[in-house]
Amino acid sequence: MHYYRYENAEVSFCYKYLMFSYNIIFWGVLLDLTQVTRLHGFDPVWLVLLVGAITFILGFAGCVGALRENICLLKFFSGVIGLIFFLELTAAVLAFVFQDNVREWINDFFLANVKAYREDIDLQNLVDSLQKLNHCCGAKEPDDWNLNVYFNCTNNNPSRERCGVPFSCCLSDPADSVLNTQCGYDVRKHLKGDWINYIYIKGCIPALEEWLPRNLYIVAGVFIIISLLQMMGIFLARTLIVDIEKVKFNY
């Protein structure tokens, strides 16, 4: 039996260094995910370690696999990226089908973070950023802050922040040159009809539900771009694997 042997077979330098460059970019993007803070009572240190480990392993497999022409590492890289893509697609479909369940989960997630607001500085920054960005307060309403031991309105609460809200709930004033972190003190002691003069009265869940339809094309575009980048990584890895196998067959 005769086997066809490729003349001057060699691994494509184009695909090889495209694969390497892709991994450098991919590595940098994933490293940004380590800025995500604690979720639902999960210690941020462990989350950062987990994301960092995945980033390192994938970056190592892709870069070394491309430079050393290691088929095993390249197959591992393409397989993991393919799995991530499949999980993202599955999550998107399930989120669309079970919208009510997702809405309830997000609500529970936000309320859990309201309860733990003073327990972690990173968590505070996350909640404050969400409220300031979306001009909202609490999950569904400002009274959600009654769940926090520092902000609840019970008579036996000795905190100075009793019956208040975080400063991120306050209406922003462009004329203020200094951030007033006490602007939310005692706000909820006023009549509810007067809250609108001091703080955002819309909850963050309703604000998100209003934001999503207005920015549906942007969200879809981001998802498509991420999916294309992942498919590009799989394509480069598989193409490089084929080239390497051709060279090995030739020898």
- In the block, residue with structure tokens 């196998």: 245
The span from the CA of 247 to the CA of 115, in Å, is: 60
| pLDDT computed for residue 27 by the predictor | 60
| pLDDT computed for residue 45 by the predictor | 55
Q: Give the 3-state secondary structure of the chain.
A: CCCCCCCCCCCCHHHHHHHHHHHHHHHHHHHHHHHCCCCCCCCHHHHHHHHHHHHHHHHHHHHHHHHCCCHHHHHHHHHHHHHHHHHHHHHHHHHHHCHHHHHHHHHHHHHHHHHCHHHCHHHHHHHHHHHHHHCCCCCCCHHHHHHCCCCCCCCCCCCCCCCCCCHHHECCCCCCCCCCCCCCCCHHHCCHHHHHHCECCCCHHHHHHHHHHHCHHHHHHHHHHHHHHHHHHHHHHHHHHHHHHHHHHHC
| pLDDT computed for residue 222 by the predictor | 85
Q: What is the pTM of this model?
A: 0.66
The span from the CA of 205 to the CA of 201, in Å, is: 12
Backbone angles phi, psi at 192, to 5 degrees: -55, -35
Tens-digit pLDDT string for the chain (251 aa):
443 444 445 556 676 667 767 666 666 655 554 444 444 444 555 666 676 677 778 878 887 887 787 888 889 988 888 888 898 889 888 888 888 888 888 888 889 889 989 887 878 888 898 899 999 999 999 999 999 999 999 989 999 999 999 999 999 877 677 788 889 999 999 999 999 999 999 999 999 888 888 888 888 888 888 888 888 888 888 888 888 888 777 66
List the structure tokens of 40.
Answer: 């639902």
Let me know: does 136 contact 129? Beta carbons within 8 Å.
no
| pLDDT computed for residue 246 by the predictor | 81
